[in-house]
Amino acid sequence: MLLPTASAPPRRRGRVLQQALRDAVRSGRLATGTRLPASRELAADLGVSRGLITEAYEQLTAEGYLSSVRGSGTWVGGAVRTATATATATATATATEPVVAVPPDSPALDFRPGVPDLSLFPRAAWSAAHRRALARLPHRGLGYPDPRGLPELRSALAALLSRRRGVVADPERVVVCSGVAQALTLLGFVLSAEGQRAVAVEDPGSPEHTGLFASTGLRTVPVPLDAEGPRLDALAASGAQTALLTPAHQFPSGIACSPARRSALLAWARGVDGLLIEDDYDGDFRYDRAPVGALQGLDPDRVAYAGSVSKSLAPGLRLGWLVVPEALADAVTVRKRTLDLGHPVLDQWALADFVARGDYDRHLRRCQRAYRARRDALTSALAALCPDAEVTGIAAGLHAIVTLPEAYGPRERLLERARRAGVAVRPLSHYLSAARNGIHEADGRVRLVLGYAHLPPGDIERAVSLLVPPSAGR
Amino acid sequence: MLLPTASAPPRRRGRVLQQALRDAVRSGRLATGTRLPASRELAADLGVSRGLITEAYEQLTAEGYLSSVRGSGTWVGGAVRTATATATATATATATEPVVAVPPDSPALDFRPGVPDLSLFPRAAWSAAHRRALARLPHRGLGYPDPRGLPELRSALAALLSRRRGVVADPERVVVCSGVAQALTLLGFVLSAEGQRAVAVEDPGSPEHTGLFASTGLRTVPVPLDAEGPRLDALAASGAQTALLTPAHQFPSGIACSPARRSALLAWARGVDGLLIEDDYDGDFRYDRAPVGALQGLDPDRVAYAGSVSKSLAPGLRLGWLVVPEALADAVTVRKRTLDLGHPVLDQWALADFVARGDYDRHLRRCQRAYRARRDALTSALAALCPDAEVTGIAAGLHAIVTLPEAYGPRERLLERARRAGVAVRPLSHYLSAARNGIHEADGRVRLVLGYAHLPPGDIERAVSLLVPPSAGR
């Protein structure tokens, strides 16, 4: 608010103040519904007497610009028709809904993959960790952070990833970031600056990768899979020096990369003097067998390892990590610095504390139990209602691939029936490159990617009965 | 940790487990000092019997790989000499010190500009805001956020900036980001993608800008100042379509851009179909006069407005905002999404709550009182000890420009004397482009940029007496 200098006569100041308030309301700068500060506070802010403010509030309330309730304060709004009030109100209403796991217009039962059950988030333990962080960190710890992340968190993550995932993680090579997407953006910028132009990605794979890498100047080259993992002939033909992989549990097919293919992929990387990027997106969840260790542990100089708490705690925390080969560590740190000067410190302290106290391991065990039960609910329901369906990729992760018998197809008919029944499903073809879209259904069978972790077992059973009713498979 | 499948005989699994632990310790993958999980927890994680784990721990403790204290747990370390333990320990020790406002090897009295007093951070109120956020937000609020920021925070910021700074802030055009550095990076990427190649920056100005914009493909063109603000002839000659400005309180000179120059700058932007970026880095702190409103309020379609809590609360929160012209809003949002998928949600909820409850205004008033007292301590000490010094740029902000009489120079002698006395100061020339370095001392007088906000008044008086002792000015 622009006021004349303190030396102007009070009456003039009062007039100017009132006019400024009127203009602000009319133009929509002060939106309808905005609560105005208490007169005492605004007076202190503007360096004027409180009387000047109360007079202005009363005048504008009388004029219909403001409304007030005794003892409750003063709001913008009343008779005035503001320039942008309607537009703003409408736009805000549509934006009130953040982009969440299940958008409000989506079906009641959504088999969206890659979404954890947010009701399992350990609110009390996380709140306690945050409170301890605020109680303990020294004042200077509130200053600009090390762009790589707090040393305490990098050490805690190095020990955690070493123990849980077999990652060779020197804290000096851990970079705390906001998640796997930022990890890929950071690497993309660094590789692009080195002169690389392309990154090989798995096909099927996440549709997000092309956009992420494009923002860093790299194009993506899809590489098809066979039963053991990404095909080496296609990788060799890609012309890329970098490949993004999900070796522990391929997204979305669920294939675990075979030991032989792991060796061959590393040999390829060494041969082209290149890099493998390991996205360990759901490495924390294994149900039937001992965990498959990270590929990174086999050759930490050829593999950059990325992970986050998005599947284990909550995507909204925006907390992840990147373990980089020594040769890239400095360049990645410089990029992290220019992108955001480092991650918020209180969240970092809280996660370091949460991991160090064993709360993270405890939470993972709790989720693992819940998700295993949901996976079992999905497989049991399918076995009962559609015994000919094949269910694969279920040893780990938060989703499964379900191949339905030919009678349930073709794809469009199945999807339309599911939509009408209020069940959202995504065909595997959704994750295929344009060139290969449909190839997975050459045998006439529809393959679906079903995320189950966020759905209670009862919902899973109901959704399956709606998806494959007895009438549909004939 | 890689273990044979659950079907392997227990004895073999025990042997493999022990060997894996030995290798992990020897190679440094499990660093000395790492605390191992409780046997019960590790057993659950690996899906083996607890006996297998306790046996392995006992065996390796006996062998000197591990050490344990009854009732306290088991740690890596003992007799074993690990591959990288020494290197890691050293590296961690040097990295234990995050990059903070005052690095540990710096002088006791550092007039570093742009640093708030972190001891004023409202820990209790912030902790309460965070706790309320965790108690109240719905489960789905923990999912991926709107990349622009939570609607609740964007509305709170729009009202705050409108009221305090005269910003025309439709919540739809507010983008929550990690601070002004990220705001500049976001805009840099967008303008670079539009084909722009250069950004005009103020000279003197922040030395960080060149690197930030270079990371987005833009070079910076320094534009000298006169008493009213950036010089228009130099701006016109720059060839740039975008200019980064600090109109309310130029950094570091402290000049407030004159009303005539504000109009002329906007006319320039319209003439070249360009953009002004307003960095309102310390707009919250005014001491003697009513606040100068934001330039953005004069033409929201030609000015992008950036600010943060780095000076008002703490840089470690990494929270800021960008208010963008409508024409750029979508492109900035897309960039924000590829950089980090949006800001952490709990911090956003906490800030929205903190602002909405009036805690932010209260905190600013408290800081303003403290910083005004420190500014007064600086000007009084200088008036007493060096009455011929000129002190400028003191109506606002966290720093002042002090021009010392010729007798205190030349620059190198002054800086050396200050260094020996344990006082860190930065000459204004530090903030000048290479081409103009030294020009501000053509009259033989040294100009210093003295940040005072983080120093208690007693320290300020002591530092001034060390900087301009009676013996020096003769």
Q: Taking residues A207-226, report their average pLDDT.
A: 96
Q: Taking residues A308-320, report their average pLDDT.
A: 97
B4: cis peptide before it, omega within 30°?
A: no
Q: How confident is the model at residue A92 (pLDDT cuts 50, 70, 90)?
A: very low
Q: What pLDDT does A132 receive?
A: 95
Q: How confident is the model at residue A473 (pLDDT cuts 50, 70, 90)?
A: low
Q: Taking residues A26-50, report their average pLDDT.
A: 74
Sheet with B219-226: list strands edge to edge: B174-177, B320-323, B303-308, B275-279, B242-245, B198-203, B219-226, B229-230
Question: Which residues in A lie closer than 8 A to residue B314 (C-beta atoms)?
Answer: 142-143
pLDDT-above-90 percentage for chain A: 67
Q: What pLDDT does A389 receive?
A: 95
How many A×B Cβ pairs under 8 Å? 327
Question: Which residues in A lie closer than 8 A to residue B92 (C-beta atoms)?
Answer: 151, 155, 171-172
Chain centroid, CA B229 distance in Å: 25
pLDDT value at A402 more than 90: yes
* Count of residues making up chain B: 474
A297/B29 touch (CB, cutoff 8 Å), yes or no: yes
Q: Which of B3, B146, B346 sits opposite A290 (nearest CB)?
A: B3
**Residue A130's closest chain B neighbor by CA?**
B127
Q: How far is A278 from chain B (nearest CA, A)?
A: 17
Q: Can you tell me the distance from the alpha carbon of B289 to that of B280, in angstroms, rounded to the nearest whole number?
A: 17
ipTM for the complex?
Answer: 0.80
The reported pTM is 0.80
| Most distant pair of Cα atoms in chain A: their distance | 88
A162/B297 touch (CB, cutoff 8 Å), yes or no: no
**Residue B156's closest chain A neighbor by CA?**
A34
Query: For each of chain B's 474 residues, which pLDDT tens digit applies?
Result: 444 444 556 666 776 777 677 677 766 667 766 778 888 877 876 777 888 888 888 766 666 667 776 566 787 765 454 443 333 322 222 222 222 233 344 567 999 998 899 999 999 999 999 999 999 999 999 999 999 999 999 999 999 999 999 999 899 999 999 999 999 999 999 999 999 999 999 999 999 999 999 999 999 999 999 999 999 999 999 999 999 999 999 999 999 999 999 999 999 999 999 999 999 998 888 887 777 789 999 999 999 999 999 999 999 999 999 999 999 999 999 999 999 999 999 999 999 999 999 999 999 999 999 999 999 999 999 999 999 999 999 888 999 999 999 999 888 899 999 999 999 999 999 999 887 776 666 788 999 999 999 999 999 999 999 999 877 765
Q: Can you tell me the distance from the alpha carbon of B189 to that of B218, in angstroms, rounded to the nearest whole number?
A: 8
Q: Which H, E and C letters describe A383-423, residue by residue? A: HHHCCCCEEECCCECCEEEEECCHHHCCHHHHHHHHHHHCE
**Residue A178's closest chain B neighbor by CA?**
B340
pLDDT value at A283 more than 60: yes
pLDDT value at A388 more than 70: yes
Q: What pLDDT does A273 receive?
A: 97
Q: How far is A4 from chain B (nearest CA, A)?
A: 8
B37/A95 touch (CB, cutoff 8 Å), yes or no: no
| Residues contacting residue A420 through CB under 8 Å, at least 6 positions apart | none
pLDDT value at A61 more than 80: no
> Of A324, A332, A281, whose CA–CA distance to A300 is shortest?
A324
Q: Which of B123, B126, B341 sits opposite A179 (nearest CB)?
A: B341
Q: Which of A159, A297, A344 sits opposite B317 (nearest CB)?
A: A344
CB B312 within 8 A of CB B398: no
| Residues contacting residue B121 through CB under 8 Å, at least 6 positions apart | A139, A142, B313, B314
Q: Taking residues A371-396, report their average pLDDT.
A: 94
Q: Which of A4, A95, A102 sits opposite B151 (nearest CB)?
A: A95
* Count of residues making up chain A: 474
Chain centroid, CA B249 distance in Å: 18
A2/B339 touch (CB, cutoff 8 Å), yes or no: no
Strand A73-76 and strand A399-403: the pairing is unpaired
Question: Which residues in A lie closer than 8 A to residue B158 (C-beta atoms)?
Answer: 31
Please count the other Cβ atoms lying within 10 Å of the Cβ belonging to residue B172. 22
Q: Which of B3, B46, B340 sits opposite A182 (nearest CB)?
A: B340
Q: What pLDDT does A27 receive?
A: 66
Q: What pLDDT does A434 receive?
A: 80
pLDDT value at A435 more than 50: yes
Question: What pLDDT digit, counting tens, does each position of A248-269 carry?
Answer: 999 999 999 999 999 999 999 9
Please count the other Cβ atoms lying within 10 Å of the Cβ belonging to residue B443. 9
Q: Which two tokens stand for residue B193?
A: 């993608």
Q: How far is A456 from chain B (nearest CA, A)?
A: 14
Q: Can you tell me the distance from the alpha carbon of A180 to that of A340, in angstroms, rounded to the nearest whole number?
A: 16
pLDDT value at A79 more than 80: no
Q: Which H, E and C letters describe chain B, residue by residue? A: CCCCCCCCCHHHHHHHHHHHHHHHHHHCCCCCCCECCCHHHHHHHHCCCHHHHHHHHHHHHHHCCEEEECCCEEEECCCCCCCCHHHHHHHHHHHCCCCCCCCCCCCCEECCCCCCCHHHCCHHHHHHHHHHHHHHCCHHHHCCCCCCCCHHHHHHHHHHHHHHHCCCCCHHHEEEECCHHHHHHHHHHHHHHCCCCEEEEEECCCCHHHHHHHCCCCEEEEEEEECCEECHHHHHHCCCCEEEECCCCCCCCCCCCCHHHHHHHHHHHHHCCCEEEEECCCCCCECCCCCCCCHHHHCCCCEEEEEECCCCCCHHHCCEEEECCHHHHHHHHHHHHHHHCCCCHHHHHHHHHHHHCCHHHHHHHHHHHHHHHHHHHHHHHHHHHCCCCEEECCCECCEEEEECCHHHCCHHHHHHHHHHHCEECEEHHHHCCHHHCCHHHCCCCCEEEEECCCCCHHHHHHHHHHHCCCCCCC
CB A329 within 8 A of CB A174: no
Q: Which of A88, A98, A115 sits opposite B145 (nearest CB)?
A: A98
CB B318 within 8 A of CB A342: yes
Q: Which two tokens stand for residue A219?
A: 């194009």
Q: What pLDDT does A2 receive?
A: 42
Instruction: Indicate which of A170, A216, A364 best probes the interface with B, i.e. most B CBs within 10 Å of its own CB.
Output: A170
| Residues contacting residue A7 through CB under 8 Å, at least 6 positions apart | none
Q: What pLDDT does B262 receive?
A: 94
Q: How confident is the model at residue A75 (pLDDT cuts 50, 70, 90)?
A: confident
Q: What pLDDT does B125 receive?
A: 96
Q: What pLDDT does A140 receive?
A: 92
A346/B343 touch (CB, cutoff 8 Å), yes or no: no
A290/B46 touch (CB, cutoff 8 Å), yes or no: yes
Question: Which residues in A lie closer than 8 A to residue B362 (C-beta atoms)?
Answer: 41
pLDDT value at A97 more than 60: no
Q: Can you tell me the distance from the alpha carbon of B250 to that of B279, in angstroms, rounded to the nearest whole number?
A: 9
Q: How confident is the model at residue A60 (pLDDT cuts 50, 70, 90)?
A: low
Q: Which two tokens stand for residue A391?
A: 């269910």
Q: Burial of A178 by CB count in 10 Å (0-12 exposed, 13-18 middle, 19+ buried)?
A: buried
Question: Which residues in A lie closer than 8 A to residue B86 (C-beta atoms)?
Answer: none
Q: What pLDDT does B9 receive?
A: 60
Q: Which two tokens stand for residue B374?
A: 């420190």
Q: Which of B127, B290, B314 sits opposite A5 (nearest CB)?
A: B290
Greater pLDDT, A67 or A117: A117
**Residue B151's closest chain A neighbor by CA?**
A96
